[in-house]
Chains A and B, each alone.
Chain A
Amino acid sequence: MTELPSSSPPSVLILTKDEEVNIGACLDCFKFTDDVVVLDSCSTDRTVEIARKYANVRVASRPFDNEYNQRTFGLHEIEYRHPWVYVCDADERVPAELAREIVQVINAPGCEEAAFRLRYKNMYLGRWIKRSSGYPVWLVRLVRPDRVRYEHRETNIHLIIDGNVGELRENFVHYSFNKGLVPWFHKHNYYSQLESHEAQRVLGSTTLGEHLRHTFDRDKFVRRRAFKNLSFFPPLRGPIRFLYMYLLRLGLLDGGAGFHYASMISMYEYWIELKVRELRSKWRERTDALAERMLREVAP
């Protein structure tokens, strides 16, 4: 395609922390713009060194305190050369077709949008796991910093957009396992802990029997809530999630990668189930009580 002489590229913001395996390939995608900002939070690897080799890259540093502050700083405290900013993680790649589309839409006459969202292709074991990853999921990545801001809500942060959100046709590519699986396991060990505490809070002291009874309640709303609460009562949480992802969502069409991704997620579901049980049955307390009993002197 022929670009108009007046067409300007977007600026790019990439948040990093120890991304030496990813940063080079990520920056290679942005040769079409003259303004890339790498906002690094104290990497201890070669991330910054690699980033500095690119003529179009500026490196900024800010210690990570929380995601909200880091992202807000990135979008609003840094001066960009261009009105549009494409926000990106180091493990994401922007194919050439997407780059062309971005330049095209932000330079289109009469572009009124404040942001654009797009879909992504999740990669695992060298292939796109389309079905197992629940494609399509839409994410806002291209924004006008003057018309968006982040908002803090409980555990998640949300982007508040003042204006219309357009949609891009092309996808970006997400390599979530480029740093190996160990970080994934640790992250999901942590998430499952959070989830189990959430379940504990929702369940309160009600028993499974009561929830089951409520599913036959006359009141429709009581019934509905009982069904939702039942999802926190394990048994078979893992297998159910597996069957859902692998068969119902056709993960089996993603080959071996689809099988393993569905298995990993169901293992994660099982961890949640186990931790809910741990909290509800007070395993640690019962272990201590059992030890005390077994160590007690036998009366002569």
Chain B
Amino acid sequence: MSEHAAAKPRIVVMIPTLNEAMHIAETVANARQVGEVFVLDSCSTDGTQQMARDAGAHVIEHPWEGYARQKNWGLDNLPVPADWVFILDADERLTPALRDEVLRVAASNTPVQGFLVNRVVLFMGRAIRHGGLYPSWNLRFFRFGHCRYEDRAVHEHMICDGPTGYLKCEMLHIRRETISEYIKKHIRYADLESDEWVRLKLGQGGGAQPKTMFRDVLRYRQWLRRKVWPKVPARPLLRFLYMYFVRFGFLDGRAGLHLAQLMASYEYMISLLYRDKMQRIASGVLKMPAPAPASPSQSIATSPAVASAADRAAPQAATTEADLAH
């Protein structure tokens, strides 16, 4: 590991955080194996900053600006010089194999400017390798100065000015939340998603623009999610069948079954909320939902049934993981 002392490439691991006390000390320790660690905190109130400093990270606080902007700001304000940057979430870890690969690649003369990294979710005591949740490729490791996030509210993705490649080894996404926390989060997503459907139905903007809809895969995916999916009958059942059978969720054992059922619950909550909101708007007791703000704690959950199909078609798009896996 230390044979290239002379021209040792400088790797900085950037970890964006908001209230990650449960993870941060371990994440920083894990990330320090490849280089300096920079925690970009959006004003946590649970002591994340101090815990990160104690673990040996450089910490800068910067108020949340949105997924893409926040990370771009971090890239513009690295506290230490870097040749390579790795972007890691607080609930993610580099496996020893990935660490070695990252160090090896950084030291090589590769023409590749950005690498997509695969990620496996650990949940319910199991590595989830099916159900459309795996593989999950994201552009996370790149030569400093050659990649930036495209500025959009959600579903931001990275633009790279050179060739991209894939790393062989994967990182872990450790989901430590309880089922109650998981459901709570999905009630909130369902509330936001159903607002979006209501806005769309009542003709107040929505994501997809018909004119440019098919320009790239992201728009195609959004079109499926916003325009087609809400009209399909028996969505909860379809979502379950898709995840559990079509995407081989059953190979993940009980966890696969429960994830598929939870997604069916989620789908069902969206449907119920949508129906209920439309009815209450019609009878005048409810106002139109205001446009959704993008905040760090609420990513808009997409329908993996639709989203993951698009994912596979275009891994290069390297979208942010806002799906179930988030």
A residues near B, CB below 8 A? 21, 125-126, 177-178, 180-182, 185-186, 189-190, 192-193, 260, 263-264, 267, 270-271, 274-275, 277-278, 281-291, 294-298
Contacts and interface: CB of A to CB of B under 8 A. Distances in A.
Contacts of A283: 123-125, 179
Given A267-B268, A295-B95, A287 B124 contact: yes
Interface string B91-125: 00101110000000000000000000000001111
Contacts of A181: 269, 272-273, 276
26 contacts: A21-B285, A177-B276, A178-B285, A180-B273, A180-B276, A180-B280, A181-B276, A182-B187, A185-B187, A189-B187, A190-B180, A260-B272, A263-B268, A270-B265, A275-B179, A277-B254, A281-B125, A283-B123, A283-B124, A283-B179, A287-B123, A288-B174, A290-B127, A291-B172, A295-B172, A296-B96
A191 to B, nearest CB: 11
A267 B265 contact: yes
Contacts, number: 98
B122 A186 contact: no
B151 interface: no
A278 B187 CA distance: 19
Interface residues of B, number: 39
A126 B279 contact: yes
Nearest to A291: B174
A281 B184 CA distance: 21
Contacts of B180: 189-190, 192-193, 275
A93 B254 CA distance: 45
Contacts of A290: 122, 125-127
B183 interface: yes
Given A284-B178, A287-B122, A180 B277 contact: yes
B175 interface: yes
A288 B276 contact: no
B191 interface: yes
A277 B258 CA distance: 10
Contacts of A291: 93, 122, 172, 174
B125 A282 contact: yes
B72 interface: no
Given A180-B273, A260-B272, A283-B124, A271 B179 contact: yes
Contacts of B261: 270, 274
Nearest to B277: A180
Max chain B Cβ within 10 angstroms of own Cβ: one of A189, A192, A278, A287? A287
Nearest to A192: B180
Given A180-B277, A286-B125, A291-B174, A189 B95 contact: no
Contacts of A288: 174, 176
A21 B284 CA distance: 11
Contacts of A296: 96
B173 to A, nearest CB: 10
Contacts of A287: 122-126, 174-176
Contacts of A263: 268
Contact of B96 (A177, A189, A274, A295): A295
Given A277-B258, A286-B126, 13 more contacts: A125-B276, A180-B277, A180-B286, A186-B184, A189-B183, A192-B180, A263-B268, A264-B272, A281-B125, A287-B124, A288-B174, A288-B176, A290-B122
A181 to B, nearest CB: 5
Interface string B162-201: 0000000000101110111001100100110000000000
A96 B196 CA distance: 40
Contacts of A185: 183, 187, 190, 269
Given A263-B268, A274-B179, A291-B172, A182 B96 contact: no
